[in-house]
Amino acid sequence: MKGQFPVDKFRDLRTPFYYYDTRILRQTLEVIRQETEKMENAVVHYAVKANANQEILRTIREYGLGADCVSGGEIKAALQAGFSPDKIVFAGVGKADWEINLALEHHIFCFNVESIPELEIINELAAVKGTVANVAFRVNPDVKAHTHANITTGLAENKFGIALGDIEQVIELAHRLDHVKFVGLHFHIGSQILDMGDFASLCNRVNELLTLFEKHHVEIENINVGGGLGVDYQHPNRQSIPDFHEYFRTFNSLIKRRNGQSLHFEPGRSVVAQCGSLISKVLYVKQGTNKQFAILDAGMTDLIRPALYQAYHKIENISSELPVETYDVVGPICESSDVFGKAVDLNKVSRGDLIALRSAGAYGEIMASQYNCRELPRSYTTEDLL
Ligand SMILES: *Cc1c(COP(=O)(O)O)cnc(C)c1O
């Protein structure tokens, strides 16, 4: 055992694999439960796209959360894990007919609609089934989140949502269509947000809209503020649970909810990032011209975030206590971007050492690919290894 890892158990397993510390996941879910119980009428839908591993999904469902899905496949994964359809929301700019039909057949809680043509198709498909679909409109709030450019979604220039200026017209249209029922507004401004000021800006925008709709006598039942809470990638041990207290408090105190309006959240990363690590073995230590490389058996096919977003993951040698040396930590894939970290300080590395890439529970396993004809990584939870 080094730190929280059952290293001896790891030695018997084929690497690379994802290890999920279910104790951390459960502690995180407990905090979410406690914080949301303090609020009136709050519903949390876990964003399945962060990690759709069935064991993870089942644990999350046990704590009473709903699911936020962005594809038919995710709806199926959520149903398989036992999520109740009346707690499933379905977002995405490009919903295919079969995905809409699947959601209609299961009577999910709500479609988060992103355009007028999509609204018309949902109405049409619901008519064929003789049903009425609940719809919320995803508003593009034109609020900037201070995060990586590839993961901001709430600016007018992004492809997501309906422009502020068009929203009234869309609601009017919904009222004229017989097979959709307008139930609320949806927002999502981006991911890995740590500045509560960004969420406060979103709250101000929500309040402006609530006032506007009140003037026009349009009733809003639900307000869904999306996800986006960030995690501390630098200090996965010190801050294993994100600051949900501040997060929920910000929305609950700043949004001026009218009577009975429910407040919905869609956290993904913040629920699962810190419980996961990618565990890999060192294949070779190679001397370069001015540096040394630790070459792992895990690569960007197993964890693509560093290559895709220049994301930082803390890297640890969990099988050595030797003095620290400096390495470029790389994978075996034939791409120059297959680098997990440059000039990383690690306890001296030898062939066969086990390396942990921390905070990899979100957008890790789910984004794995088979490029280079590699196998997909397996996964184990704390309970699997008892
Ligand atoms: C991705 C996404 C989320 C979750 O975002 P996180 O940053 O992982 O919390 C929530 N809602 C929608 C609509 C999303 O697309």
In this structure, the answer to whether residues 232 and 183 fall within a common structural domain is yes
- For ligand 1, what atom is nearest to the CA of residue 271? 9
- Ligand 1 centroid vs 47 CA: distance in angstroms? 6
What is the CATH classification number for the domain harbouring 140? Answer: 3.20.20.10
Q: What angle separates helix 22-37 from helix 244-254, to the nearest 10 degrees? A: 20
The CB of 268 under 6 Å from ligand 1? The reply is yes
Report the CATH number that the domain containing residue 313 is assigned in CATH. Answer: 2.40.37.10
> CB of 140 within 8 A of CB of 162?
yes
Domain extent, residue 32, equals 22-273
CA of 194 to the centre of ligand 1 (A): 14
Domain boundary among the residues 221, 253, 273 is at 273
Domain count, the chain: 2
Question: Is 242 exposed, middle or buried (CB count within 10 Å of its CB: 0-12, 13-18, 19+)?
Answer: buried
Q: What is the pLDDT of residue 1?
A: 45
82 and 193 both lie in a single domain: yes
Pairwise CA distance, residues 41 & 263, whole Å: 6
Q: How far is the CA of 82 from the centre of ligand 1 (A)?
A: 21
Angle at Cα 47 formed by Cα 85 and Cα 331, nearest 5°? Answer: 135
Are residues 52 and 80 located together in one domain of the fold? yes
Residue 97: phi, psi to the nearest 5? -55, -45
Alpha helix segments (H runs only) across 216-358: 244-254, 269-272, 305-309
- Domain edge (last residue) among 219, 250, 273: 273
pLDDT (0 to 100) of residue 78? 98
Are 140 and 198 contained in the same domain?
yes
Measured CA to CA, the distance from residue 366 to residue 48 in angstroms comes to 10
How does DSSP classify residue 365? G
CA of 226 to the centre of ligand 1 (A): 6
Residues 339 and 205 in one domain: no
Of ligand 1's atoms, which has the minimum distance to the CA of residue 270? Answer: 9
Atom of ligand 1 nearest to the CA of 228: 7
Sequence length of the chain is: 386
State the distance from the centre of ligand 1 to the C-alpha of 190, rounded, in angstroms: 7
Ligand 1 close to Cβ of residue 190 (< 6 A): no
125 and 59 in one domain?
yes
Both 374 and 248 in a single domain?
no
What pLDDT does residue 215 have? 87
Cα–Cα dist 119/341, whole Å: 44
Instruction: Based on the fold, state whether residues 295 and 218 are members of the same structural domain.
Output: no
Mutate to test the pocket of ligand 1, among 28, 49, 160, 193 (most ligand atoms within 8 A of CB): 49
Atom of ligand 1 nearest to the CA of 363: 8
> Longest Cα pair distance anywhere in the chain, in angstroms?
71
Compute the Cα dihedral for 155, 225, 78, 232 and give only its sign. positive
**In a shared domain, residues 368 and 349:** yes
- Residue 144: what pLDDT? 73
Pocket residue to mutate for ligand 1, from 68, 93, 137, 198, most atoms within 8 A of Cβ: 68
Q: Are residues 213 and 300 in the same domain?
A: no
* pTM, 2 dp: 0.95
Q: Over its length of 386 residues, how does the chain's per-residue pLDDT go in tens digits?
A: 456 899 999 999 999 999 999 999 999 999 999 999 999 999 999 999 999 999 999 999 999 999 999 999 999 999 999 999 999 999 999 999 999 999 999 999 999 999 999 999 999 999 999 999 999 999 988 887 766 665 566 555 666 788 888 888 888 898 899 999 999 999 999 999 999 999 999 999 999 999 988 888 889 999 999 999 999 999 999 999 999 999 999 999 999 999 899 999 999 999 999 999 999 999 999 998 999 999 999 999 999 999 999 999 999 999 999 999 999 999 999 999 999 999 999 999 999 999 999 999 999 999 999 999 999 999 999 999 98
On whether both 314 and 279 belong to a single domain, the answer is yes
47 lines ligand 1 (CB under 6 A): yes
Which atom, in ligand 1's list, is nearest to the CA of 186? 13
Amino acid at 19: Y
Q: Which of 273, 295, 315 is the last residue of a domain?
A: 273
Q: Is the CB of 69 under 6 A from ligand 1?
A: no
In the numeric block, the tokens 């018309």 are attached to 120
The span from the CA of 32 to the CA of 361, in Å, is 17
Buried b (16+ CB within 10 A) or exposed e, 46-80: bbbbbbbbebbbebbbebebbbbbbbbebbebbbe
For residue 162 the two structure tokens come to: 């309906």
Same domain, 198 and 114: yes
Ligand 1 centre distance from Cα of residue 286 (Å): 39
> Measuring from atom 11 of ligand 1, which residue has the nearest CA?
226
Q: What is the atom index within ligand 1 of the atom nearest the CA of 112?
A: 13
The helix/strand/coil state of 181 is strand
pLDDT of 158 reads 64
Residue 292 β-bridge partners = 287
Q: Look at residue 336 and give its three-state secondary structure.
A: coil
Q: Which atom of ligand 1 is nearest to the CA of 190?
A: 7
